[in-house]
Amino acid sequence: MAFTVLKHRWHKVSVGVLILFIVLIAILAFLVNHYWSPILASKVKEVVLKSSDSLYKADFSSAQLHVVRGSVEFFNITLKPDTAVYNRRKKQGLAPNNLVELHVKRLILSHIHPFKLYFQHKLDIGEIVLYEPSLHVSYQLNHTRDTVLKQNQTAWQKISKSLNSIHIGSIILGDVKLKYDDYSGNKVAVSELKEMDLSAHDLLIDSATQTDKSRLFYCKDIIAELNNYSAKSPNGLYTYTFKHLKLSTLRSQLNVEGLTLQPINPAQFFEKSHRDRFIARVDSLQINNFDFLNYHKYRALRASNLFLKKGTVEVFGNPNHLLVNTDKIKSFPNVGLFKINMDLKIDTASVQNISVFYTEFNAKSNEYGTISFNNTSGRFLNITTNKQDLQKNNIIAAKLTSYFMNKGKLNLEVTFNLTDENNSFSYKGNLGPMDLKFVNPAIKPLSMVKINSGTIKQFSFDIHANRTFANGKVEVLYNGLKVSILKIDTAFDDLKKTPIASLFANLFILKHDNPDKEGEVPRSVNVSYTRTPETPFFKFAWKTLLAGIKPCIGLDKKTENAVIAMQNQHVINKQNRKIKKEQRIKRREARREKRAEKKLAAGG
């Protein structure tokens, strides 16, 4: 019954030929694996050595060539730099800024054609997969522009004596362990990454692509993805995290999702630092036309667009600024930008639905006041620290739309001078209609004034400032303004109304409307404000506006002093009345004692 299917002679011949073919293939595979593996290994090592100008050496414990599958497996691969060659190039000014060391437990080259390699001298590989790769990159700024060796050869010219071309369809690295040492700063910054995937596609080195600028490292596209990254700032005050990062060199695009900057708790932060405390959260960050190669080589960030979508920025003024004589000029954007210590050029930065909160502690009221700018959208032009670019244009210009205290629409234009020694800047804008009672969360604790009623019709301002002084024009159009003057209630640790001062302010000081009558010219104020060194940027801008708002509603310095004098006089009068009352009580008690003495004497 066995082999009953082989009824005809040609069936038996076919099976025999097939078996013979399989046997021949097996023998051929064994011979190829035995004799060609060393040849292939030698070729790989030679290519690495020549293409890197002897800077890198490749090695592995063993290799297996599978003719039937058309694949090659390497085990325990290492790619190491030759430190002697690196140091020699460093002295010559030719050393690269990045030095790489790679360890791979297993590497598979699929769809490889050994006959094509042997007879045509073309290394053609469909896919390379690296298992358990460990990558160690060291960065040191050896030079700030491209340098070339004396022979000025391309990668293809370096390998052309051994190979006519190298083509790899895709290179896959999953779950990469990356250690990155940055020696560019005062201290070595060490970063370690996990959950990172790398892939490179359509790598081609030949006579046509040797000068192709559209390819990065001869690849049509390199994609890097990183998940759930977290690291601490060098000073240990902040932790920055993101959920997902993706870089595509073909699209020249970098995307980051779930970006967060979180400081340590306030008590520890303000104990260790005299700077303002920041919290930032951004749902989405995108950089377009990102020049990755320039950043990889020289830490120079070049991009056409930066998009920030949906997030919050919270700034907490440091309450200990009076305890230290420190100039907080670093809080100015046109100063802080250069503290990044990076060659930076972003043509346009756009923000969408970003809310900004500034919170400050007032020691007099013992409370925190918060100013908010909700759902802010707009764009910044010409964000740069590059010296050549600054010679062409030294101004950052911004146009923004926001909602002040989440109510009134605010249109704002801001400029920052990036080269002025006095760090000059300007801001102008206008605020649309809103109920003034919504300003109380800021004005009550910071100015100890409560707005009981009032409607703003328009608030406009145009301020020019630098690191020491601000001046400009402020105009507030409003109706029906009534306020309460507040003071500390020590019994309940709260703010309470001072009836006499509030009545005095509403009757004799405040201007309840602007203009006072319909058709009249509205009041406006030419404001000037001097910054003290410990005043940060946001507080400086707010205090300047407040210095114009107060006199516009009748609370100029003279009337403020009058209110204070009246309050002080009220306290003095109250104390005098108390003293007089005590004196009257004492006199009555003295008279009672005298009458009692007389009765006692008469009775005796």
* 3-class SS of residue 365: coil
Q: Are residues 169 and 286 in the same domain?
A: no
In a domain, residue 579? The reply is: no
In a domain, residue 594? The reply is: no
Helix and strand element counts for the chain (H, E): 12, 23
217: left (phi over 0), alpha (psi -120 to 50) or beta: left
Q: What is the DSSP string of 183-244?
A: -SSSS-EEEEEEEEEEEEEEEEESTTTTT-TTSBTTEEEEEEEEEEEEEE-TTSSEEEEEEE
Q: What is the pLDDT of residue 145?
A: 63
Closest to 46 in 3D by CA, of 131, 162, 143: 162
Rg of the chain over Cα atoms, rounded to whole angstroms, equals 38
Q: Are residues 391 and 354 in the same domain?
A: yes
Q: Are residues 88 and 118 in the same domain?
A: yes
Q: Are residues 547 and 511 in the same domain?
A: yes
Q: Are residues 247 and 129 in the same domain?
A: no
Closest to 477 in 3D by CA, of 430, 442, 428: 430
* 536 cis-preceded (ω within 30 degrees of 0): no
d(CA 544, CA 592): 63
In a domain, residue 198? The reply is: yes
Q: Would you say how long the chain is, in residues?
A: 604
Q: Are residues 175 and 279 in the same domain?
A: no
**pTM for this model (two decimals):** 0.76
Q: What is the pLDDT of residue 499?
A: 54
Q: Which helix (H) or strand (E) holds 559?
A: helix 557-603
In a domain, residue 6? The reply is: no
Buried b (16+ CB within 10 A) or exposed e, 552-578: bbbbeeebeebbeebbeeeeeeeeeee
In a domain, residue 3? The reply is: no
Q: Are residues 183 and 54 in the same domain?
A: yes
User: Measured between alpha carbons, how far is residue 327 from residues 272, 321, 536 in Å?
Assistant: 17, 9, 8
Q: Are residues 160 and 116 in the same domain?
A: yes
d(CA 263, CA 265): 6
Number of domains in the chain: 2
In a domain, residue 131? The reply is: yes
Q: What is the pLDDT of residue 35?
A: 54
Contact indicator for 83, 104 with CB cutoff of 8 Å:
no
CB atoms within 10 A of CB 62: 10
Q: Are residues 220 and 245 in the same domain?
A: no
Which residue range is the domain that position 173 belongs to?
A: 28-142+155-226
Contact indicator for 334, 425 with CB cutoff of 8 Å:
yes
Q: Which residues of the chain have pLDDT under 70?
A: 1-44, 47-48, 51, 65, 67-68, 114, 143-152, 321-325, 485-509, 556-571, 603-604
Domain end position, chosen among 202, 226, 250: 226
Q: What is the pLDDT of residue 495?
A: 56
Q: What is the pLDDT of residue 10?
A: 47
